[in-house]
């Protein structure tokens, strides 16, 4: 057990979240907050306002922000189980594990659904979406993952959204790994519901997800919910009525997130954070290629959030040992999530800079020598 005077060894998380956070974000959790206290209610109100601002919209412009206790999947399930009415049908665009997860959620809630699939190394095709919507008039909602964390591929939601809107359907976006790091306007991308999480590119800690929604689409959720705790409309209504959560909120995670939003502003906003993450990604890719690692995605489809790499074609390479040796050096990477291709993943987000990526590359080089691959 670590004594109060000791500090655990520092580990840097090269993952898609949870991720490395600043000391000041951690320190924000040293304060206890009452969930019904005026100061905490004011903090929640400010967090909701700043989230809309990061999405390029505002409450006055017809958008709302709602916080949902739980991980990002809780937020996705809240939207899918609340937004699609009993008479509706959901079309899910899938090119990775997180699109498949949305399909699992819809099926579990017995929501009528259909899926369009692409290989995991190909982006979703807007023309195919437009064609399917024209063919099937029963589809009322379309859901897509923006940055598919399975590979790091970026799907063209700004092309898909206007097509969905023109067809009179509702556009749902899983922006878990992109919000706060990929400049985006909900209005321009015609997004009705966007879902992300506290422990991603805003650089907070785990504990809650959030939903940014067009007010009219949110109002249409009333009475649709298939669960009590994930009722999106009632969650929003409670926050709007008295500023309070219906059930116990993750107070410390919200205080940390409020600090993380301040630090996003100090950095220069979403554009500046995107620039830092892009530099991280460029440093990583150049270094990994120099070491002989092959990226899974082609450059035109690769986002700057997380990157997948093929296992080296060498019997001396064992991922478990590779991971363990890097972890012993304070570097935490991510295993692969591809169905058939053996890969591992490295994230470029969190409180990381190009110098951290250089440190990781030096550690990888050292482990390669040790493992002799």
pLDDT recorded at residue 8? 63
Taking the domain 25-266, which CATH number applies? Answer: 3.40.640.10
C-alpha dihedral (347, 259, 257, 98), degrees to nearest 10: -20
pLDDT recorded at residue 114? 98
pLDDT recorded at residue 3? 52
With a cut of 70, list the residues of the chain below it in pLDDT. 1-9
Per the CB < 8 A criterion, the answer to whether 185 and 53 are in contact is: no
pLDDT recorded at residue 1? 47
Of 29, 59, 31, the C-alpha closest to 45 is: 59
Domain 12-16+269-371 classification at class level:
alpha beta
Per the CB < 8 A criterion, the answer to whether 291 and 361 are in contact is: yes
Let me know how many helices (H) and strands (E) the chain has, helices first.
12, 14
pLDDT recorded at residue 339? 73
pLDDT recorded at residue 90? 98
Q: Where are the domains of the chain?
A: 12-16+269-371, 25-266
As a whole number of angstroms, the distance between CA 236 and CA 242 comes to 10
Residue 193, beta-bridge partner list: 172, 213
- For 183, which DSSP code? -
């Amino acid at each position: 057990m670590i004594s109060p005077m000791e500090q655990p060894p520092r580990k840097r998380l090269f993952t898609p979240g949870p991720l490395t956070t600043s000391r000041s974000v951690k320190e924000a959790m040293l304060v206890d907050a009452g969930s019904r206290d005026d100061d905490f209610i004011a903090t929640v109100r400010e967090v909701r306002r700043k989230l809309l601002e990061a999405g390029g919209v505002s409450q006055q412009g017809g958008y709302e922000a709602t916080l949902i206790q739980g991980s990002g999947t809780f937020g996705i399930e809240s939207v899918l189980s609340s937004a699609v009415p009993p008479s509706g049908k959901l079309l899910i665009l899938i090119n990775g594990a997180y699109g498949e997860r949305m399909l699992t959620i819809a099926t579990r809630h017995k929501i009528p659904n259909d899926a369009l699939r692409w290989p995991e190394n190909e982006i979703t095709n807007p023309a195919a979406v437009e064609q399917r919507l024209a063919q099937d008039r029963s589809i009322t909602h379309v859901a897509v993952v923006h940055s598919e964390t399975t590979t790091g591929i970026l799907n063209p939601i700004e092309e898909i959204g206007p097509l969905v809107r023109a067809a009179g359907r509702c556009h749902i976006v899983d922006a878990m790994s992109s919000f706060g790091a990929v400049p985006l306007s909900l209005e321009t991308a015609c997004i009705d519901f966007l879902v992300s999480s506290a422990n991603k590119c805003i650089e907070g800690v785990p504990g809650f997800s959030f939903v940014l929604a067009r007010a009219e689409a949110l109002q249409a959720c009333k009475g649709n919910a298939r669960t009590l705790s994930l009722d999106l409309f009632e969650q929003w209504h409670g926050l709007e009525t008295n500023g309070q959560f219906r059930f116990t909120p993750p107070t410390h995670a919200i205080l940390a997130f409020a600090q993380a939003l301040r630090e996003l502003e100090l950095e220069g906003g979403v554009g500046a954070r995107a620039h830092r993450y892009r530099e991280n990604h460029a440093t990583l890719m150049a270094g990994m290629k120099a070491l002989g690692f092959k990226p899974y995605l082609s450059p035109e489809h690769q986002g700057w959030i997380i990157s997948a790499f093929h296992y080296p074609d060498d019997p001396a390479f064992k991922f478990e040992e590779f991971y363990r040796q890097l972890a012993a050096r304070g570097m935490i990477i991510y295993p692969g999530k591809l169905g058939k291709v053996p890969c591992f993943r490295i994230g470029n987000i969190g409180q990381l800079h190009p110098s951290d990526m250089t440190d990781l590359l030096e550690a990888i080089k050292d482990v390669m020598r040790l493992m002799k691959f």
